[in-house]
Amino acid sequence: MVELSPSFEMECEVLDRDHKQLLRRINDIIAVIDGEHSDECAKLTPDLVNFAKQHFAREEALLTKVGYPDVKKHVEHHRALDRKMESILNLASVADDNPLAGKKLKSELVFFLMDDIINADLDFKSFVEDKQQESGNSSGP
């Protein structure tokens, strides 16, 4: 199972809640693969992808609202993750018949989460924190 260290929390309630939900959904998929119920991947993965896209939209709206200067770069990063989600969906569709696909799916899911949070979101963490402090709000600017 995948865990996120508290150091990767964004200190923004809406984003942290979304990240925890992404983590839970990824761990659910990993659990069905590890538990030899990989047929569930084809059912769980589209829900993860849909939630991830909703998360991206919420995050982009928040960054636009607070005036984050690199919002376009972050949106481009999300579009790259959208393309990776297509690969994740393909792996999930064959994971039941192909144990190697299940194994690859697990690693792609972990990479996806880390790429979203660590490689991209932490870039704007301090900016959003500063905006929250200015407005006196920790749930989001």
Under 8 Å between Cβ of 30 and 2 = yes
User: CB neighbours (10 Å) of residue 140?
Assistant: 19
Confidence at residue 67, expressed as pLDDT on a 0 to 100 scale: 95
Model pTM score: 0.90
Residue 99's CB is within 10 A of a number of other CB atoms, namely: 12
- Quick: pLDDT tens for 97-109: 999 999 999 999 9
- 121 pLDDT higher than 90: yes
Helical segments of the chain, H only: 13-34, 41-66, 71-94, 99-117, 125-135
pLDDT for residue 139: 59
* Homologous superfamily (CATH) for 12-122: Hemerythrin-like (1.20.120.50)
pLDDT digits (tens, 9 = 90+) for 57-85: 999 999 999 999 999 999 999 999 999 99
Instruction: Please state the φ and ψ torsions of residue 99, each to the nearest 5 degrees.
Output: -60, -30
Q: What residue segments make up the domains of the chain, in order of their start?
A: 12-122
Supply the mean pLDDT for the chain.
91
Are 80 and 74 contacting, i.e. CB atoms less than 8 angstroms apart? no
